[in-house]
Amino acid sequence: MNHRLPTYFVSHGGGPWPFMKEQYGETYDVLEASLVDIRRQIGDVKPAAVLVISGHWEEKELMLSSGAQPPMIYDYGGFPAHTYQIKYPAPGSPQLTQRAAALLTAAGHAVSLDPQRGFDHGTFSMLYPVYPQADVPVVQLSLLHGFDPLTHVKIGRALAPLRDEGVLIIGSGLSYHNLHQFGPEGRLASHQFDDWLQMVLKLPPSERTTALLHWGQAPYARNAHPREEHLLPLMVALGAAESEDAACVYHEDEFFGHLAVSSFRFGEPVAP
């Protein structure tokens, strides 16, 4: 692959939703279509690998998954029995793990490898619509405790060269993540925070980064993200394409009937 790949921040939905079509009906159709469209945007050419920064993995020190055949992590509760038998058998990529570790170390980040880390639902549920055959290698990168936005932007900056090496970088979280207000009571906060995100991501790159680093000052910020682990993957995706334009590639105003949610691309698509 000779093209620089864009990066993505995707709102990954809830639990194992791609495997619950009977239960959810059309609830996730718009999100699913946006994920499938990522293949078109990168030219329908399989990347060498996918590096996922999931809101469901956080550590005191940066960790990279390093297993050749990562297992599954069913990090959800109360779902149908069959969702605890899901397999997403994508291989790992020890080569990408070593390359990412070298880039992060060179940028001054301490990083360790985890050969046991499996695919959490922030990874396999989001990737299943994109690559249902699980035929693209996948490596996961953890978030860092403390959730410092600048640190995560710097992590993205360190990983930017991977984009020229055929690696698709995806930050997987949710643009609105308050599970205690996931119904009509979340409408105002989700819409106000989403409006702010849409506005900020249209700013010139330097202003955009500054605004996102101070995301806590946004309208209803802490209502939208009482704990920001589902927002921080956005900082990594941004950092890896910091000087490039952003585009909204998924948006709904009435997700689960009430909520505004979005996904974003940084950098130009390979295919128009």
Domain boundaries, the chain: 7-266
Task: Identify the architecture of domain 7-266 in CATH.
Answer: 3-Layer(aba) Sandwich (3.40)
Predicted structure pTM score: 0.97
Query: Residue 45's pLDDT band (boundaries 50, 70, 90)?
Result: confident
Query: Which pLDDT score is estimated for 3?
Result: 84
Tokens 């690998």 — which residue?
49
Higher-pLDDT residue of 1, 6:
6
**Rounded to whole angstroms, how far apart are CA atoms 124 and 138?**
10
Q: Mind listing the pLDDT tens digit for each residue in 65-105?
A: 999 999 999 999 999 999 999 999 999 999 999 999 999 99
